Amino acid sequence: MREVSVGAVALDRFAQVLPPERVALLSEAGRRTAEALAGRTVWNVSSTERGGGVAEMLQTLVGYGRGAGIDTRWFVITGDDRFFAVTKRLHNLLHGFRGDLDHLDPADQDHYREVLARNLEGWQGQVSPGDIVLLHDPQTAGMAQALREHGAHVIWRSHIGSDRSNAYTDRGWTFLRPFIESAEACVFSRKEYAPPWLTPQVTVVPPSLDPFSAKNAPMATHSIRGALDRAGIVRRSDGDGNLAFVRRDGTAGTVRAHRGLLVDEDRPLPPDAEVLLQVSRWDHLKDMAGVLTAFTDHLDLFPQNVHLLLVGPDVRGVTDDPEGAQVLEECRELRAGLPPSKRERAHLCCLPMDDVDENAHLVNALQRHATVVAQKSLMEGFGLTVTEPMWKQRPLVASAVGGIVDQIVDGVSGVLLDDPTDLERFATLAAGLFADPGRRQQLGAAAHDRVLRQFLGDRHLLQYGELFTSLASG
């Protein structure tokens, strides 16, 4: 177990984007929660500190918790390859997909227990009876019983799930059931994700976006172009532009010069290209290969200056997802097999993970540079990669699955694809947005307004404050 250092962030920062009444409500709730939790610590435990929406939200929520005067801390577990292979199978099963294997045997469950027992050694002694512990996702669920016996209030927070059960989801929940039933409460992103047999208290808390992070902060045009040119992703002809950005701790950062972020020695995109962008982990459920096939098989639907850009993390920097390298290689082989006329308009990009703030700044620039953003997931727990471009007023075409349908109102704040396996329909919807600038502007404006009203951190913090207070008061 290792601790992630997070600085305090004042709640009144929200005054920059929220109306005064919402800021006052948050401030008062923060005061009441801090008073109810006086003398207690709120612990968060996750599998990684970088490379996904859970880590990004924890960085924000822990900071605001500390800013509200609540002793809030964040620890990350360690595990071996076998452990993360098991939890990746759980991830796929709970989404209703087979993945590499559709079963987990007793030996897998024993190894899972052993790894988490080793993580508890030493760290559990820091937790006091009455403290609140949030265990995030399947990787940490096996800690619940020991922490409850120690006297802590334990919440299992699931960021994944499927609206419909099948044989695969049943196998995943069968594996996890003896662990999560030890929790005092369970939190899901959607009520449909909670299995019907769950006895602990169930609370629905959708994820949220931090509008002040390096990934979502406002960016001027010269900063967008400068960052993407410096990183070797999009070529520009008028100088380097502004390369500065603000890190999460408030210090200044500068975009580094990079070589090889576009895979297979691909050339940077032309400065005048319109871009269809998908930013995701290299995960089969994100269907990057499907987006690539849909675009290149129906290239005639798109204007000549439209390019596809599929962006994911450098797989060497993501420790808890053993399938990433495999999915990236599948996309590379698919692109390599295209004729040159198609290959030169489809690009794969791996962003470095050694500097999480620079990574976030580059994602921000990419999403703001894009003409249209896609999220053609086969299944999606929530999808902050949808929330982020919505906040930036980008028009989206996304699959009507999971938490995406909670965010996008079809035809109002984006465009939904009913069947995520229908590649021709996806290409038609995306191409239609490129053909209609006025519609893109309307969808983008409505998308931003929806995030402002429903998916910013103040709502998330209010819900957590109510849950923590309830548990602390018995």
Q: Residue 116's closest CA among 79, 81, 63, 161?
A: 79
pLDDT on residue 125: 92
- Ordered by start, the domain boundaries in the chain are 2-208+456-473, 271-454
pLDDT for res 258: 92
State pLDDT tens for residues 388-436: 999 999 999 999 999 999 999 999 999 999 999 999 999 999 999 999 9
pLDDT, tens only, 60-84: 999 999 999 999 999 999 999 999 9
Q: How confident is the model at residue 240 (pLDDT cuts 50, 70, 90)?
A: low
pLDDT in tens, 455-464: 999 999 999 9
317 has pLDDT over 80: no
Taking the C-alpha atoms of residue 333 and residue 322, their distance in angstroms, rounded to an integer, is: 19
pLDDT of residue 241: 79
Contact 139, 165 (CB under 8 A): no
Residue 250 scores a pLDDT above 90: no
CB 323 within 8 A of CB 175: no
Tokens for 241?
């532009």
CA distances from 253 to 170, 257, 358, 362 (A): 46, 13, 7, 12
Give the mean model confidence (pLDDT) for residues 284-293. 96
pLDDT on residue 396: 98
Sign of CA dihedral 161, 164, 169, 170: positive
Query: Is 208 a residue whose pLDDT tops 70?
Result: yes
Helices (H), 310-436: 324-336, 340-343, 356-369, 384-391, 404-407, 423-434
Architecture of domain 2-208+456-473: 3-Layer(aba) Sandwich (3.40)
Topology match between the domains 2-208+456-473 and 271-454: yes
Q: Which of 136-140, 238-242, 265-269, 421-425 has the lowest mean pLDDT?
A: 238-242
Classify domain 271-454 at the CATH topology level.
Rossmann fold (3.40.50)
